[in-house]
Structure 1
Amino acid sequence: MTKSPIYREAQARLKEYIQTHRLRPGDRLPPEAALASELGVSRLSLREATRSLQTLGVIEARHGNGLFVSAFSFRPIIEQLPYGLADTGARFGEILVAREAMEVGLMAFVAKLPASVELHECERLAKVMGERETAGVPTSDVDKEFHLRLYRALGNTLVDQVIETFWELFARLGEALKAPGTRRLAPIHLAIVRALREGDAELAAAEMRAHFDDVRRRIALIDPADARPPSGEQAPPAGQGGAHA
């Protein structure tokens, strides 16, 4: 059986050290010499381990001040993803299914919340989309902000970061998803907001599902195999309802 590189053993011990000492984001790690001794590894192995854990976002180095435990973020994961994952549609259909399942599922939780400032802001953003569409101006930045705001009132940082991750992956498709859709963005976004204001989780979920129809048609331009909807449903024919990413 092949043994793991020594630095990987040091990496595992360092992560275990963080857990057993219940260190929290922002907590400082011991100096290198003391930490290497504590972990029973060489300083060279420890340096390699800390460099790799910095890349993964587990710890961070502050110039002249040592090593600290990092707050969890999906950003390092995004940066490590192979660009082929969201290029030419390879695997993109799987990403779309995951995102749709998440956002449709979240409608039940958002619908239970009282009307919030965030929902009011989502309505404003949807109207801005309409103005931009009329003027022929791109709306992708407003669309992204709409989705981030939609779940902000849940106070769930993990949800916020996953949404950011999905948008980063969608952005990697570049021009492929910028082709004109068959349905304007503003009406479908406003429909989602109206359903949530009424506390109608079922209607909000249905509107959110419709929101992904146009995305599938755009994916079909890249790779028809990735345009299949979840659960073996038939993808809607061109010309019917849909929306932007």
Structure 2
Amino acid sequence: MARGTMSEDVQAQIKQLILNGRLTPGDPLPTEAELVALLDVSRNSVREALKALQAMRIVEIRHGFGTYVGPLTLEPFVEGVAFRAAVRHHQGESSLYELMEVREALEAGLIGTVARNLPAEDLAVLKGLVQRMAEEARGGQVQSATDRAFHLALYRSLGNHLLSEVLDAFWAALRRVREDLSDDRPDPLVTFRQHQEIVDALEAGDGDRAVKAIHRHFDGIRRRLSEQ
């Protein structure tokens, strides 16, 4: 059996152990020696497989403590998408536009549903984040963490964890590649006002107005991308 195929086979067996054991992030896995005996493979094969699974965030190796089920995040996807966009940008392609358009399509397609059923507690969270943006804007820059928290809170009421993770992954990928390529900083007062418009539309329960506010927000990003 080829070495790469052996590693992939061991990876598949370790993933099956996680599924069969109904393990969740943070749960301990068998030790390296136990995996060698359990799977009847070499120590090197187990180490290769664990390293590959760690890169995918499926396992977490804590040196001196053992191996555990990893956080199972979309971080490897974010890294891959961001680097792909950066490479294509340097080749003269409109990869940043493409990233932004995926975000815009997802958010504009969802915001109408959010506007019709937004719980009062989520609206209160969004209002608080917009207030924080106002304070940060007066200080000269809206923090990326505040913007990220706003967009996460925006769709929390839909109750779809994967959707929230995908939206956040595209937010992170676009932010990462833009920060790597440029020192572009949006006007903080404009950023605050655009998010305030979204919240005002949601408070009014006006889905059409919320969609327009989302598009205006992305129009600002689009303009800044065209200037790079």
What TM-score range do you get, normalising by the shorter chain?
0.7 to 0.9
2:42 corresponds to: 42
Q: Please tell me whether residue 111 in structure 1 is matched to residue 115 in structure 2.
A: yes
Q: Amino acid of the residue matched to residue 200 of structure 1?
A: D
Structure 1 alignment gaps of length 5 or more: 223-245
Alignment match, 1:72: 72
* Worse-matched range after superposition: 91-100 or 65-74: 65-74
Distance 1:148 1:96, change over 3 A: same
Paired positions, count: 219
Identity of aligned residues (%): 35
State the alpha-carbon separation in 1 of the partners of residues 184 and 160 from structure 2: 28
Quote the Cα distance in structure 2 between the aligned partners of 1:156 and 1:177.
32
Q: Pairwise CA RMSD of aligned residues?
A: 2.9
More helix by share: 2
Which residue identity does 1:52 align to in structure 2?
Answer: A
- The amino acid across from 2:209 in the alignment is L
CA contact (8 A) 2:26 2:71 kept: yes
TM-score w.r.t. structure 1 length?
0.74
Quote the residue 1:157 is aligned against. 161
CA–CA separation in structure 2 for the residues paired with 1:198 and 1:81: 36
TM-score, L = length of structure 2: 0.79
Tell me, yes or no, if structure 1 residue 178 matches structure 2 residue 185: yes
- The answer to whether structure 1 residue 197 and structure 2 residue 225 are counterparts is no
Report the alpha carbon displacement of residue 5 of structure 1 after superposing the two structures with TM: 4.0
1:221 matched residue in structure 2: 227
- The residue type paired with residue 126 of structure 1 is V
How far 1:136 moved relative to its partner?
A: 6.3
CA distance in 2, matches of 1:65, 1:179: 45
Separation in structure 2 between the aligned mates of residue 98 and residue 180 of structure 1, nearest angstrom: 23
Deviating more after overlay: 150-159 vs 66-75: 150-159
Q: What's the CA shift string for 1:118-143, capped at 9, x where partnerless?
A: 3223223324434554x460114333
| Equivalent-residue separation in structure 1 for 2:121 and 2:9 (angstroms) | 48
Amino acid at match of 2:29: L
